Structures are given as C-alpha cells and as structure tokens.
Structure 1
C-alpha cells in the first residue's frame, strides 16, 4: 500500500542552537513519527532540508515513518516529491505547487514587539500576508494567536485551526540529588526564583524591580537564565548595583537543554510576566516540573495557564511583587492540579491535531 506523503520543512533542526520554532519542529516530527493511527490513516513524513545544510542532515529527527530530502531555493528547485501536503513551520518554503499548511506561532511583527530592524519587521508582515493568501490551512498555536491573526492580518476564519503545543516528558519533578547536582554545576546557593528569557517582551526589568520591592532578597535569590544582549546586561548590572542586588541576582546566561528541566524543578517559583506571547510554553514546562507559576494577563498566557497559575498585570510592579508572594504561597493541592494540567498537554495530541489539519488540506486538493 502507498501511504500519503507529507513533507515538512525541517531545516531549522540543523541549527547549532535550537530556537523555539526549532524545538516545535523537532517535537512535532518525533511525535508524528511514533503516532499510533489506524491502518487507513497511515502516512509517511518527509523532512526537507535546504541543500546548503544537507551536510548536517544527521541532526534531523530519526524514527519510523521518516525520511529526508534536500531542496534548493526558488532559483534552482529540486524536483518536487509526490507529496500531498507541504507543512511550513517557519519562513523557509520550497516553491512547489502543492497544498501548504503553515504554523503561526505569534504576531510579534504585527504588534511591533521585539523588533528593532524595521526592514525585518516589514518582511515578516509580508510573510503573514503570504500565509493568509497562499495556505490551504493555518495551524495557530493558541486561540489568542488565531484571533490576533484574524484581527491584524485577516483571512478566512474556517482555515485557521488551533492546535495547542505539548510538553516534553523531560520536564518533570526532579529528585533532590538531581537538583543538587544542577546547583553545583551552576553554583547556586539557597532557594531561588527563576526567570528565563532574553527578549524585551519577557519583562525582565520589572521582574527585578518587583523582586526588590517585595523584599524577597531576604529569603531567595533570583536566577536569570538567557543570553542577554550587551546593552541589556549593562543596564541590568547598573540597576542591580543601585538596588543593592548584585549578590542576590544570578545571571546564568544561556542554560542548555540538558540543564533546563532541573533548573525549573528546583525553583521555588517560576516568573513569566510576559508582555505578549503567542503561546507561552514555559508556563506548562514549569508546571510539569512541579513548580508554581506566575504569569501575566497578556497574550495567550491566561489561555495556556488555564487557571493554574497566579495571573497579574505585568506592567504593575506592586502587582508583580504581590503575585510573587502569592505564587510562593500556592497550596499543595493547587500545585498538584497545575502538574496534572501540564501533563495532559502532550506532543502526541499536538501531532494528532496537526494530522487532522493535514487531512482537511488533502481533502480540498
């Protein structure tokens, strides 16, 4: 029997350091590879990699149902495989006349968030319009992102489908020994609050102010994970010195994927007062680690948290300080409910939802 072939552009899996979209692509492909489906619904998945990265093809996902092929750009395209659907998770798109499904992760460019280069923002805006006009279906990672796309870009609402993201099983409660080993590697002493992020929307400056205002420095340190820019580091270092917090804020820089789960699990609270998120997967990753979460009332954060986090106005420092205190005081039964909520969000369900969207696209071809 010949199974339908679906091609997914997976060049981002060859990047030296995984981006959020790269993690999405890998988790989705791996979940699709092992997805249990009835025989009539079987399919084959082709990972596409640009010719310039083909030498790094060993970084592509491995597993059943998977094979790989390289492709050139628009000027020298390789012959198109006999695929029924092409899935595009980022801006790389083979120029083939085939039904296209794309993933919409966020609307940062349309909202002018995290962009300092206007030419790049305009290019992204044109890409949104391309998706609206070109794609048979669009996978939106949250209802908030779907509504943002319809409001800011437009399109047929029936073609935009919400498929929430899953949580990797590597995010789980860790033993004391595992956490102690991480503390030793990162030179962390005593209980800590955790902040992860290096973009403007993550709201680090206000987190530091709330950490100082709430007088948490008496009992906790604040661990900041993420490779901050030189400009942010200079401003942050100066402000920490003014507040007398230089010894209470640990700037961990980039934390690798191998250490991040234990870093979540060891935190007394995870602080995620983002000004905007297309999804906000770290909310669920922290919950799945057994850590109570502070999240903002903006973007998709309340949708993803689903009542299992402390929700605050991220622009109000006093509200943030009160929210941190409430997060630290979260009772055991609510933490258990948050853990159960996060564990129910699996990549297998994301794969099933994505496959359903592909089948809709095939039916219209």
Structure 2
C-alpha cells in the first residue's frame, strides 16, 4: 500500500490542524493522529505548537504504519482530510469502509466516491470543518451504519465487475469504429 510523504507545502494539513484545535475546545479528550511516511517536517511540528497542541498527547505523528491502518480507523472518532485537489481519496474511503465518520473537502472526487458516507466542507473553512468533526463524533452510529453500503460499492467483486463493464464497452466501441472505417474505405 503506497502512502504519500509528509507534505512540504502543508496548507491542507494546516487546515486540518486548525479545525482540530477548534474542535478540542468542545471535546478536550480528543487526540489528532497524523499519518504519513518518513520523518515529519519541522514546519508541521512548529505549526502544531503554535496552535497550542504540543504536549499532553494532543497530537501524534505516525509514519509507515500501513499494516496498522485498519485498527487506527476502527479506533478513530473521526477522519478528516481537507485536500484541495484529491483525485480519488483512498484514505477517506478506507475510513468510511471501516465505519469511521469522515469529514472531507467538497472539492475533487470525494463527493462522487463517498456520497452520503461523508460530510463535505469547503477546505478553506476551518470553522465548518470543526463543526463537521463535532457532528461526526457526536453521531457515529449513523456513519457506521453507512459502512456496509460503502463496503459493498467498493468490494473487489463490484470493482472488478465495473472494470469489466468498461472494458466491454470500449471493446464494442472500438469494433464498431473499426467496422465503420472498413465500410467507408470500401465505398466508391
């Protein structure tokens, strides 16, 4: 499983950290767990310190834990990603499949991929993200109830069937185009 390195330009991560800092006012027992690969940028650690999240285990940085992700999603009160450009959003999907309440950017493909299984926010609006996090941790049963539907939609069997359908449509279209080309070449 490929995991992306800690961002050097961490605008998206900064928004999630800010939203978490706001959320902690209403839910002080929460802990923010940030997952990436390699070592954490000093800028990210300093930014977390500026948000008064240092000490007392308020924030943890974990690296290279792909095999532990299912357990991490299961234990999470919520998942947040405020990406400005996300082509698919596999971590958010993984969290939703595990029944973790998901808060993600309404930009990109997340809305199409996750549908009702996530709460969508403008990634620039940290107050809205904090409010969505509080909603997610307040009613996790609703989100966990959506997990089977998300799992079924993205099961290996369903994904393989969808891919086979696309391949069949492309093959039929290619044959049809080839047949038309052959007919037009034979015409006087």
Identify the residue that residue 213 of structure 1 maps to in structure 2.
Answer: 22
Identify the residue that residue 317 of structure 1 maps to in structure 2.
Answer: 126
Stretches of structure 2 that go unaligned for 5 or more consecutive residues are: 176-188
SS at match of 2:53: coil
Instruction: Give, in angstroms, the shift of residue 315 of structure 1.
Output: 0.7
CA distance in 2, matches of 1:320, 1:331: 16
- Number of aligned residue pairs: give it: 169
CA distance in 2, matches of 1:312, 1:293: 11
Instruction: Give, in angstroms, the shift of residue 229 of structure 1.
Output: 6.3
Identify the residue that residue 180 of structure 1 maps to in structure 2.
Answer: none
Task: After superposition, give the CA deviation of every residue in 1:160-184 in whole Å (9 maximum; x if it has no partner).
Answer: xxxxxxxxxxxxxxxxxxxxxxxxx
Select 1:224's aligned residue among 34, 38, 55. Answer: 34
State TM-score, norm by structure 2: 0.78
Task: After superposition, give the CA deviation of every residue in 1:39-77 in whole Å (9 maximum; x if it has no partner).
Answer: xxxxxxxxxxxxxxxxxxxxxxxxxxxxxxxxxxxxxxx
SS at match of 2:61: strand
Alignment of 1:268 with 2:66, yes or no, is: no
263 and 244 in structure 1: CA distance in 2 versus 1, 3 angstrom threshold: same
Instruction: Give, in angstroms, the shift of residue 307 of structure 1.
Output: 1.8
Instruction: Give, in angstroms, the shift of residue 298 of structure 1.
Output: 0.6
336 and 225 in structure 1: CA distance in 2 versus 1, 3 angstrom threshold: closer
CA contact (8 A) 2:101 2:137 kept: yes
CA distance in 2, matches of 1:241, 1:202: 16
Instruction: Give, in angstroms, the shift of residue 297 of structure 1.
Output: 0.9
CA distance in 2, matches of 1:324, 1:292: 8
350 and 244 in structure 1: CA distance in 2 versus 1, 3 angstrom threshold: same
SS at match of 2:18: helix
CA distance in 2, matches of 1:228, 1:244: 24
- Alignment of structure 1 residues 283-362 onto 2, 5 Å: 283-332=92-141, 334-345=142-153, 346-362=155-171
CA contact (8 A) 1:202 1:272 kept: no
**RMSD of aligned Cα (Å):** 2.4
Identify the residue that residue 177 of structure 1 maps to in structure 2.
Answer: none
| Higher relative strand content | 1
SS at match of 1:306: helix
| Higher relative helix content | 2
Instruction: Give, in angstroms, the shift of residue 209 of structure 1.
Output: 1.2
Identify the residue that residue 87 of structure 2 maps to in structure 1.
Answer: 278
Select 1:254's aligned residue among 53, 59, 64. Answer: 64
Instruction: Give, in angstroms, the shift of residue 228 of structure 1.
Output: 5.8
Runs of 4+ deviating beyond 6 Å: none
Stretches of structure 1 that go unaligned for 5 or more consecutive residues are: 1-17, 21-195
260 and 331 in structure 1: CA distance in 2 versus 1, 3 angstrom threshold: closer
Structure with bigger RCO (C-alpha 8 Å, 6+ apart): 2
Identify the residue that residue 2 of structure 2 maps to in structure 1.
Answer: 19
225 and 324 in structure 1: CA distance in 2 versus 1, 3 angstrom threshold: same
Identify the residue that residue 160 of structure 1 maps to in structure 2.
Answer: none
